[in-house]
Amino acid sequence: MRRRAYESEADVELLQAFNSASIAATGGCGYVHPGDIPHRLFNGNKHFDPAEVMTVWEDGSGVAAWVLVGPRHRSYDAQVRPDLRGGVFEREVLEYADAHTVELMSLHDVESDQMLGDAFRCDLVRVGLLAEMGWVLDEEPPYVINRARIDDLAEAVIPAGYSIRPVAGVEEAGAVAALHSAAFPGAAWTTELYRQVMESPGYDPGRELVAEAADGALAAFAVTWYDDVNRTGLLEAVGTHPDHQRRGLGRAVVTFAAHHMATAGMESAIVANFASNTASEALYRSAGFEPWHTLDSYARAID
């Protein structure tokens, strides 16, 4: 078994293929959508070197596992190949992830007395390992992954005065950064930071849909990602500018994006929300999505 750091953009495709195959073998329980890999690596960890936060294990059969640490989130993702689940190896991966998370939190001055994590409720192997390692179920609301067959979704109804289109390219980085920052206060996107995302492996401006007002202002967005093996598209992230909320734009962008993914061969679409976010939950239900997988929150004290 060889353990190494992230090396190049070729690793993004390698790990996406790994997750697609793992999802095909398990029905998705315990594995994140392939689109979550570049999204979390280059968007969620925009301030960090990929080689610092991403670790890959390989054996004679290819990728055996990977861990992505989010120091500022005090958490990590750990994915282990289905045939290696539940044994000594998975525990070693989790122990490494625990230690590396604490190490990076300390290195980047993230002060906390605990780490945070989650696990698919259906993934009894992971839930059991976390309990053995001192993780405890948190009181935070769960994270819900919603799914819909795209053919079952109504066509998008775009409010008068708006249109929906793909992002043109990096020349719109500033406008898109401002839209993301407005939709998610505290994200602190700059033109340069979002340009880096747009130029990162896996991102395609043709897969980020934006709602544009008549005056040219960007009002809402949905970034889409494809899993060609399982024919499932992911919407991550989705947001609406506060100045344009309560006009049906969120539902319009979500349904438009889902049907846009269908033109690339996707048959199902997934989108997630925290159970505490009742506005997002209502949006996705109104668009035709239903709960699929639930992830519970866990915490572990830092020694």
Mean pLDDT within 110-122: 97
Residues 6+ away with beta carbon under 8 Å from 20 = 34, 227, 228, 229, 230
The predicted structure's pLDDT at residue 303: 81
Predicted TM-score (pTM) of the model is: 0.97
Q: Considering Cα of 106, then 69, then 201, then 13, what sign does the dihedral take?
A: positive
pLDDT band at 204 (very low <50, low <70, confident <90, very high): very high
Q: Which pLDDT score, from 0 to 100, does residue 139 have? A: 87
Stretch 95-121: mean pLDDT, rounded? 97
DSSP structure class, residue 234: E
pLDDT at 34 exceeding the cut of 90? yes
In angstroms, rounded to a whole number, what is the distance separating the alpha carbons of residues 65 and 290? 30
Q: Identify residue 232 by its one-letter amino acid code.
A: T
Per domain, the residue ranges of the chain are 2-137, 147-295
Query: Hey, how many other C-beta atoms are within 10 angstroms of the C-beta on 54?
Result: 24
CA distance linking residue 142 with residue 81, whole number of Å = 24
187 pLDDT above the threshold of 90: no
Task: Please give the average per-residue pLDDT across 183-211, as a whole number.
Answer: 96
For residue 232, what pLDDT is reported? 98
Residue 181 has a pLDDT of: 97
pLDDT band at 186; cut points 50, 70, 90: confident
Please tell me what DSSP assigns to residue 184.
S
Q: Is the pLDDT of residue 199 over 90?
A: yes
Summarize the confidence of residues 194-218 as an average pLDDT.
97
The Cα–Cα gap between 161 and 278 comes to 27
Kindly list the distances between the CA atom of residue 65 and the CA atoms of 3, 91, 141, 253, 269, in Å, as whole numbers in the listed order.
9, 11, 28, 35, 25
pLDDT at position 95 over 90? yes
- The 10s digit of each residue's pLDDT in 264-298 is 999 999 999 999 999 999 999 999 999 999 999 99
Class of domain 147-295: alpha beta
| Calpha distance 27→44 (Å, rounded) | 26
Cα 241 to Cα 249: distance, rounded to the nearest angstrom: 10
Q: Which fold has domain 2-137?
A: Aminopeptidase (3.40.630)
From the list 53, 43, 38, 41, the residue with the least C-alpha distance to 5 is 53
Q: Do domains 2-137 and 147-295 have the same CATH topology?
A: yes
Detail the DSSP E strand segments found in 60-161: 62-70, 75-80, 114-120, 136-137, 143-149
| Residue 43 exposed, middle or buried by CB count within 10 Å (0-12, 13-18, 19+) | buried
How sure is the predictor about 37, in pLDDT bands with cuts at 50, 70 and 90? Answer: very high
Query: What average pLDDT does the structure give for the chain?
Result: 97
Give the H/E segment covering residue 258.
helix 249-262
